[in-house]
Amino acid sequence: MRARRETSLLFALLAVVAGLVMAVTDLLPAPPGHAAADTGCRVVYTPNQWGGGFTAQVRVTNLGPALNGWTLRWTFGGDQRVTSAWNATIGQTGTAVTATNVAHNAALPAGGSADFGFQGTWTASNPTPVDFALNGVPCNGSATPTATPTVTQTPTVTPTPTPTVTPTVTPTVTPTPPAGCSGAVVCANFEEQAPGAPSGDWQVVAPDCRGTGTATIDTAQAHSGGKSLRISGGGGYCNHIFAATTKNVGAVGPVVYARVWVRHTTALPANHITMITMADQNDGGRDLRVGGQNGALQWNRQSDDATLPEQSPTGVALSAPLPTGRWVCLRYRIDTTRPGMSTWLDDQEVAGLHLDETPTRDIDSQWLRRTTPPRPVTLRLGWESYGNDADTLWFDDVALGSAPVAC
């Protein structure tokens, strides 16, 4: 009987110990892998819209594990079409859009953010997308991960507008503004920019494909002040590169006046090149181009390849080459209400780059095929070669507005 009683006490004691072990186990923290389910992302989409066109700045914040390479997907709710992008490669099929990282922002740590932007057109409506997904994970839908990075990222979000917005207004307008810049929508001498890739009011873009071309802020050359925009453009279309203003060029008019100081290294080639492009709202967003061909300055229309002047020997002779090795003042005027364009080089109007409503032989017969006047809504400075011609050039003291601009 005594042995049986001792055995019962032993089993009771073992039961108590087992209960204590289970209680202690329940109090221990969950292993690190427990938080792996808290994944997601947050997107801030900031559009800037005008009639028929828009730009959008996008910030995507990774709320899950670190990523080495990312793709953000969304669906447009209207008839928007993306025409160009910066800091991401964007593709579109119907209303479905994908934005993929470029080399410098492929790494996206947990809680980290990437910024990119794009420009587009619309006809019927331009609603803000809502169904973003980062690498297949829906964004803006998980309360738990959203709360943590919101607090963590506050120091990152708050300082960002300070260097990109506030200094842009102060140096470009108040200290040593380019002549005739007061009141212009675009008034830039790049003094507020840090060395390296343009930022803030200027964004690097390479429509369709990206090659060896580069756009940087340079301190070795300047027309005024101590900085300029340097473009190193390669031969072949995909080695093109542009810096695009984020200002609302579509608000300028009814007559658009522009002034650009430009310095370039190599004489204009026989092949067709472009240095300035402006998306034309009245031509489906296709570009108006300022460039050269047959060694002389020309205007070119992307939609039908019309040139001003015509590329006949007489037409080319009525244009002018772009001098090399020195700063040159290039100005132009575009009427958005009727056929009317004028172009000046160092305050001398170029006869072959003049358009009015009266046809002129060897100059504007191609250009007058379209009766709808252009409506520029963007401004991009850079280099694009349709042959195999490369060049290094600089832009400075850029102005664009609704009033005439002096050199």
CATH number of the domain where residue 87 is located: 2.60.40.290
Task: Please indicate, yes or no, whether residues 132 and 192 belong to a single structural domain of this protein.
Answer: no
Task: Please indicate, yes or no, whether residues 230 and 122 belong to a single structural domain of this protein.
Answer: no
Task: Please indicate, yes or no, whether residues 378 and 297 belong to a single structural domain of this protein.
Answer: yes
Integer Cα distance of 194 and 199 in angstroms: 8
One-letter amino acid identity for 333? R
Domain count, the chain: 2
Give the helix ranges, DSSP H, for 178-256: none
Q: What is the pLDDT of residues 243-298, one digit of tens each?
A: 999 999 998 989 999 999 999 999 999 999 999 999 999 999 999 999 999 999 99
Selection from 204, 243, 260 nearest residue 401 by Cα: 260
**Is pLDDT larger for residue 246 or for residue 154?**
246
Q: Six-digit token pair at 261? A: 């100081």
Q: In this prediction, what percent of the chain has a pLDDT beyond 90?
A: 64
Q: Of 58-72, 158-172, 252-266, where does mean pLDDT reach its minimum?
A: 158-172
Domain that holds residue 244: 186-401
Domain-embedded: residue 225: yes
Q: List 331's β-bridge partners, or say none.
A: 259, 344
Integer Cα distance of 213 and 123 in angstroms: 33
Domain-embedded: residue 20: no
Chosen domain end from 123, 138, 153:
138
Task: Please indicate, yes or no, whether residues 254 and 392 belong to a single structural domain of this protein.
Answer: yes
Kindly give the pairing relationship between strand 380-385 and strand 41-50.
unpaired
pLDDT at 49: 78
Domain-embedded: residue 250: yes
- The stretch 234-238 carries a mean pLDDT of 91
Task: Please indicate, yes or no, whether residues 258 and 360 belong to a single structural domain of this protein.
Answer: yes
Token look-up 């507008």 returns 161
Domain-embedded: residue 34: no
**Is pLDDT larger for residue 332 or for residue 46?**
332
Residues in contact with 175: Cβ distance below 8 Å, sequence separation at least 6, in sequence order: 191
- The stretch 78-92 carries a mean pLDDT of 86
Task: Please indicate, yes or no, whether residues 251 and 344 belong to a single structural domain of this protein.
Answer: yes
pLDDT at 297: 97
Domain-embedded: residue 168: no
**Is pLDDT larger for residue 236 or for residue 104?**
236
pLDDT band at 39 (very low <50, low <70, confident <90, very high): low
Q: In this prediction, what percent of the chain has a pLDDT beyond 70?
A: 80
Task: Please indicate, yes or no, whether residues 374 and 301 belong to a single structural domain of this protein.
Answer: yes
Integer Cα distance of 370 and 357 in angstroms: 12
One-letter amino acid identity for 139? C
pLDDT at 25: 38
**Is pLDDT larger for residue 132 or for residue 162?**
132
Q: Six-digit token pair at 55? A: 């730009």
Considering the entire predicted model, what is its pTM?
A: 0.61
pLDDT at 30: 36
pLDDT band at 154 (very low <50, low <70, confident <90, very high): very low
Task: Please indicate, yes or no, whether residues 96 and 215 belong to a single structural domain of this protein.
Answer: no
- The greatest distance separating any two alpha carbons of the chain, rounded to the nearest whole angstrom, comes to 128
CA 295 to chain centre: 30
Q: What is the pLDDT of residues 346-396, one digit of tens each?
A: 989 999 999 998 999 999 989 999 889 999 999 999 999 999 999 999 999
Domain-embedded: residue 64: yes
Domain-embedded: residue 170: no
φ/ψ of residue 367, rounded to 5: -65, -35
pLDDT band at 131 (very low <50, low <70, confident <90, very high): very high
Please report, for the domain that includes residue 272, its CATH number: 2.60.120.200
- Residue pair 111/149 in contact (Cβ under 8 Å)? The answer is yes
- Angle (CA) 19-24-25 rounded to 5° is 95
Residue 312 has pLDDT above 90, yes or no: yes
pLDDT at 179: 57
Task: Please indicate, yes or no, whether residues 134 and 225 belong to a single structural domain of this protein.
Answer: no
pLDDT band at 178 (very low <50, low <70, confident <90, very high): low
Give the helix ranges, DSSP H, for 220-351: 313-317
Task: Please indicate, yes or no, whether residues 242 and 308 belong to a single structural domain of this protein.
Answer: yes
Domain-embedded: residue 146: no
What does pLDDT average to over the chain?
82
Task: Please indicate, yes or no, whether residues 297 and 360 belong to a single structural domain of this protein.
Answer: yes
Task: Please indicate, yes or no, whether residues 199 and 272 belong to a single structural domain of this protein.
Answer: yes
The distance in angstroms from the start CA to the end CA of the chain is: 116
- The stretch 157-174 carries a mean pLDDT of 37
**Is pLDDT larger for residue 345 or for residue 179?**
345
